[in-house]
Amino acid sequence: QVQLVESGGGLVQPGGSLRLSCAHSGSIFVITTMAWYRQTPGKQRELVATITSNGITTYGDSVKGRFTISRDNAKNTVYLQMNSLKPEDTAVYYCRTQGPTYYWGQGTQVTVSS
């Protein structure tokens, strides 16, 4: 059983930055593609970014050029650096393992507001 624990959410003003972290409990992290999703009330979860085991990244159109996903395999952790934040980035952010069997973290709230 894999456990994912997100941290780093909070309240930030428009134009500000936050860095989210997701700690993975298992030794298979190094071979696992990881992803960040986000969800706002009444909407489906939206894929924000992915990163493969060897560092290849993809981004949703709404965050390209502003968000950066990265990973530290020595720490079993994936990060999401969020810059130039907008009010529409407000959501609960979740990390997830990718693959036929996947696991979700508990989520962390990000609120962008003045």
Q: What is residue 63's DSSP assignment? A: T
**What share of the chain in percent tops pLDDT 70?**
100
Q: Which of 89, 86, 75, 73 is nearest to 36 (CA)?
A: 89
* Residue-wise pLDDT tens digits, 45-83: 999 999 999 999 999 999 999 999 999 999 999 999 999
Residue 85: predicted pLDDT: 98
* Residue-wise pLDDT tens digits, 9-33: 999 999 999 999 999 998 888 889 9
Residue 22: predicted pLDDT: 97
Mark 67-92 as b/e (b = at least 16 C-beta within 10 Å).
Answer: bbbebeeeebbbbbebeebeeebbbb
Cβ atoms within 10 Å, residue 28: 13
Q: Is the pLDDT of residue 103 over 90?
A: yes
Residue 55: predicted pLDDT: 94
What's the rounded Cα separation, in Å, for the pair 46 and 70?
18
* Residue-wise pLDDT tens digits, 1-14: 889 999 999 999 99
Residue 88: alpha-carbon gap to chain centroid: 16
